[in-house]
């Protein structure tokens, strides 16, 4: 079945709820009837059917293998009462008029629309699509005509919830597969081939990986930060990249090796993606913000810089703000950036020619950095002067600041800009004069509104660092997205930091590594923890799968696994067993799998009784 259609069906049945109420009277029960009223709930709306009738099959005609059915189910069997509901026909009843109209009293167009989503004349209903594989051409149409629909819904919902397991036989008690000349047959697979049921189970099983990815994406979007935890080799980092790729590019990473390589390269180049690996010596100054020594050619200068997290958060926040702006504002900002770049070029040439530009009688522009002018006075200033950020001048222009007091009270500007408003207004006036002298005026252009993007930061081995020390005030900011928090370091007079809601964080954590730091409760409650466990189903090589099963026994026996540990924390993951051939398995076993098992033995994770198994493995793969 088409994956997109199947995912749509699963989403529908996850939203749909059905509740059955037994309303059978004593008189009806004595005559072999079962009567119910069913409530359907979907997207906040609730609908009730009229009284729906079943009849005990012993009291009905046209039943194939009656005694076999009674023996198999060993309980009363009620099927759709064909005398009350004239649904079944050799060529199939007209679903929308004969079946749907018979399910409720009066006129209920909204309920009718919902029922048509389940099944309809065009066979495009979710019930029809999810069970279409395996339906026979001869009997396929009979499925909706021979059964009350809520029983079919319950069966499908069980299969979805159980991730493709065969439902218990009680789910089939009321369900008819087909009607032929010998009578009606049960849907139970134990009483016939029922390819349709097996195809349904297999389709749901096959989509589980996709559903897991979707579930992880939903958790991440809801919580904003998650930690993928599990033993070594379960593909935590790969899963994190897979989630990131899906969220940034709105598609999954391919199973094709070459395409996958190109997609991962594309991810690494994306401005919306960043990956950092923590280690025990990692600090706040490495991750968030810190002081850096830089040479300006004549002397060492100590400046505060945003590091990987603060830079990334700044880009995400900029995108968030721009996505909320009208196209006209974005058009003006684009124009302003272009004109200001030309203005900076002019001043750069003038400073190179004259050595400085006077902004007051005692203060001058002396140099141009990549993102700021340098200015200083005649005396009492540092040799390199202060930095006047281009962004402050541009923001003041957009905000139409015409007086020193306007800049002084403009909270969008840096602290230094407000403090030195007298100098900033002079440079802003120089820019306005540049525009006037060159007869430059703003002409709106067609600009497409900026799209809100998701920015994904992966923190590999997140628990290897001292998290309270590395995160600092970010512990608060993680919970209160969009709010300013104060850093211990300021940049250009501003010590605030913001984690915007479009910045999503995925951490990975090896649960078998006992050398790592403890994640305290304050941090733990801000993350959603998701287990990424060993999965034998992804191992295709027969020898590798057999070895995986052999080794997994060590982690599921109290004789070989120390009581302090659980298999979910330490069992070797499937990635160690994903190989092209037996030769690659030989190498992985010798140089990766056995050494880890020996390390586990030395660390007391595996007990003494595991030693013989490990020695046998070593001898087997040393040859």
Of the chain, the percentage scoring pLDDT greater than 90 comes to 75
Domain-embedded: residue 367: yes
Stretch 360-373: mean pLDDT, rounded? 94
Residue 233 confidence (pLDDT) above 90: yes
Among candidate residues 341, 377, 345, 384, the one with its CA nearest the CA of residue 361: 377
Average pLDDT over residues 593-605: 95
Say yes or no: 71 and 103 in one domain: yes
Q: Cβ–Cβ contacts within 10 Å for residue 606, how many?
A: 23
Helices 195-206, 208-223: axis angle to 10 degrees equals 40
**Residues 193 and 269 placed together within one structural domain of the fold:** no
Count, residues in the chain = 623
Statement to judge: residues 171 and 23 lie in one domain: yes
**Structural domain contains residue 299:** no
pLDDT at residue 382, rounded to an integer: 82
- What is the spatial distance between Cα 574 and Cα 433, in angstroms, rounded to a whole number? 67
Asked if residue 238 and residue 101 are part of one domain, the reply reads: no
Average confidence score pLDDT of the chain = 92
Q: E strand or H helix at 419, and its extent?
A: helix 415-419
533 has a pLDDT exceeding 60 = yes
What three-state secondary structure class fits 458? Answer: strand
Each residue's pLDDT tens digit, 295-315: 766 677 788 899 999 999 999
**What integer pLDDT is reported at residue 365 of this predicted model?**
96
Residues 591 and 522 in one domain: no
Domain shared by 33 and 170, yes or no: yes
**CATH number of the structural domain spanning residue 236:** 3.40.50.300
pLDDT confidence of residue 515: 58
**Which residue, 141, 174, 206, sits at the end of a domain?**
206
Q: Are 51 and 186 part of one and the same domain? A: yes
Residue 499 and residue 377 in one domain:
no
pLDDT-derived band at 514, boundaries 50, 70, 90: low
Kindly state whether residue 120 falls inside one of the protein's structural domains.
yes
Residue 21 dihedral angles phi and psi, to the nearest 5° = -120, 125
Residue the block writes with tokens 């099927």: 79
Q: Is the pLDDT of residue 93 over 60?
A: no
Q: What angle do CA 90, 91, 92 make, to 5 degrees?
A: 95
Q: What angle do CA 156, 158, 159 make, to 5 degrees?
A: 65
For strands 183-186 and 176-180, give the pairing. Answer: antiparallel
Q: Output the furthest CA–CA distance in the chain (Å, rounded).
A: 109
Is 52 domain-assigned? Answer: yes
Residue of 77, 59, 87, 64 whose CA lies nearest to 183: 64
Domain membership flag for residue 283: yes
Per residue in 173-201, pLDDT (tens digit) is 999 988 766 788 899 999 887 888 999 99
Same domain, 276 and 148: no
Query: What is residue 61's DSSP assignment?
Result: S
- As a whole number, mean pLDDT of residues 420-441 equals 96
Do 504 and 592 reside in the same domain of the chain? no
Q: Is the pLDDT of residue 379 over 90?
A: no
The full 3-state SS of 88-145, as one line of letters, equals: CCCCCCCHHHHHHHHCCCCCCHHHHHHHHHHCCCCCCCHHHHHCCCCCCCCCCCHHHH
Query: Which tens digits make up the pLDDT trace of 103-156?
Result: 999 999 999 999 999 999 888 999 999 998 887 665 556 688 889 999 999 999
How far is the C-alpha of 439 from the C-alpha of 19, rounded, in Å? 74
Question: Does some domain include residue 314?
Answer: no
pLDDT digits (tens, 9 = 90+) for 476-510: 999 999 999 999 888 877 888 999 999 999 999 99
pLDDT value, residue 296: 66
Summarize the confidence of residues 244-268 as an average pLDDT.
93
* Residues 374 and 468 grouped into a single domain: no
Q: Which residue has the higher pLDDT, 10 or 183?
A: 10
Q: How far apart are the first and last CA of the chain?
A: 46
**Whether residue 19 is found in the same domain as residue 123:** yes
Tell me, what's the pLDDT at 210?
Answer: 81
The better pLDDT of the pair 367, 134 is held by: 367
621, 613 contact by CB (below 8 A): no
Task: Tell which of 507, 530, 553 closes a domain.
Answer: 530
Total domains, the chain = 4
Is 294 a member of any domain?
Answer: no
Domain that holds residue 338: 326-437
Give the model confidence (pLDDT) of 32-68 as tens digits: 999 999 999 999 999 999 999 999 999 988 888 899 9
319 in a domain, yes or no? no
Please state whether the predicted TM-score (pTM) of the whole model is above 0.85: no
Domain boundary residue, one of 206, 225, 240:
206
Read off the pLDDT of each residue in 439-463 and give the average, rounded to a whole number: 92
pLDDT-derived band of residue 517, with 50, 70 and 90 as boundaries? low
Window from 242-246, 294-298, 348-352, 428-432 with minimum mean pLDDT: 294-298
Q: Is the pLDDT of residue 548 over 90?
A: yes
């Amino acid at each position: 079945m088409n994956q997109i259609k199947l995912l749509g069906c699963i989403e529908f049945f996850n939203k749909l709820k059905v509740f059955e109420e037994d309303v059978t009277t004593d008189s009806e029960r004595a005559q072999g009837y079962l009567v119910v009223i069913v409530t359907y709930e979907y997207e906040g709306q609730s609908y009730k059917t009229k009284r729906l009738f079943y009849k005990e099959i012993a009291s009905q005609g046209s039943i194939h293998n009656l005694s076999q059915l009674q023996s198999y189910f060993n309980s009363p069997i009620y099927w759709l009462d064909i005398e009350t509901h004239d649904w079944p026909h050799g060529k199939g009843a007209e679903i929308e008029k004969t079946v749907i109209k018979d399910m409720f009293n009066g006129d209920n167009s909204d309920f009718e629309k919902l029922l048509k989503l389940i099944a309809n004349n065009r066979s495009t209903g979710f019930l029809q699509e999810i069970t279409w594989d395996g339906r026979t051409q001869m009997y396929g149409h009979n499925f909706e005509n021979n059964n009350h629909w809520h029983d079919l819904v319950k069966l499908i919902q069980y299969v979805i919830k159980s991730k493709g397991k065969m439902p218990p036989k009680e789910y089939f008690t009321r369900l008819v597969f087909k009607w032929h000349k010998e009578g009606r047959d049960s849907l139970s697979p134990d009483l016939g081939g029922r390819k349709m049921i097996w195809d349904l189970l297999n389709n749901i099983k096959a989509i589980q990986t996709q559903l897991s990815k979707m579930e992880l994406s939903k958790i991440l979007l809801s919580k904003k930060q998650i930690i993928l935890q599990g033993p070594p080799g379960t593909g935590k980092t790969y899963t994190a990249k897979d989630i990131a790729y899906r969220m940034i590019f709105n598609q999954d990473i391919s199973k094709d090796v070459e395409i996958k390589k190109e997609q991962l390269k594309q991810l690494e180049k994306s401005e919306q993606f960043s990956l950092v690996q923590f280690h025990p010596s990692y600090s706040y100054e490495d991750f968030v913000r810190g002081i850096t020594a830089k040479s300006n050619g004549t002397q060492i200068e100590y400046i505060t810089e945003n590091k990987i997290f603060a830079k990334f958060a700044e880009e995400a926040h900029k995108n968030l703000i721009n996505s909320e702006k009208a196209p006209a504002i974005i058009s003006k900002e684009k124009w302003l950036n272009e004109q200001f770049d030309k203005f900076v070029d002019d001043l750069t040439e003038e400073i190179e020619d004259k050595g400085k530009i006077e902004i007051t009688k005692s203060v001058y522009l002396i140099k141009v950095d990549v993102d700021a002018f340098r200015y200083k006075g005649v005396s009492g200033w540092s040799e390199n002067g202060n930095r006047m950020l281009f962004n402050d001048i541009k923001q003041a222009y957009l905000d139409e600041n015409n007086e020193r007091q306007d800049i002084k009270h403009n909270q969008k500007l840096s602290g230094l800009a407000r403090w030195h408003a007298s100098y900033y207004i002079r440079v802003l006036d120089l820019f306005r004069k540049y525009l006037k002298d060159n007869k430059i005026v703003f002409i709106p252009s067609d600009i497409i509104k900026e799209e809100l993007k998701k920015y994904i930061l992966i923190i590999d081995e997140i628990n290897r660092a001292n998290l309270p020390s590395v995160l600092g005030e970010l512990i608060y900011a993680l919970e209160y997205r969009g709010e300013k928090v104060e850093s211990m370091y300021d940049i250009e007079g501003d010590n605030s930091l913001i984690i915007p809601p479009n910045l999503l964080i995925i951490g990975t954590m090896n649960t078998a590594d006992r050398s790592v730091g403890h994640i305290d409760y304050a941090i733990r409650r801000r993350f959603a923890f998701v287990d990424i466990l060993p999965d034998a189903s992804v191992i295709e090589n027969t020898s590798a799968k057999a070895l995986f099963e052999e080794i997994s026994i060590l982690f599921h026996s109290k004789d070989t696994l120390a009581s302090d540990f659980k298999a979910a924390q330490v069992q070797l993951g499937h990635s160690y067993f994903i190989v092209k051939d037996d030769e690659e398995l030989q190498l992985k076993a010798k140089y990766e799998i056995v050494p880890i098992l020996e390390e586990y033995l030395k660390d007391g994770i595996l007990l003494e009784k595991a030693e013989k198994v490990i020695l046998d493995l070593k001898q087997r793969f040393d040859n």
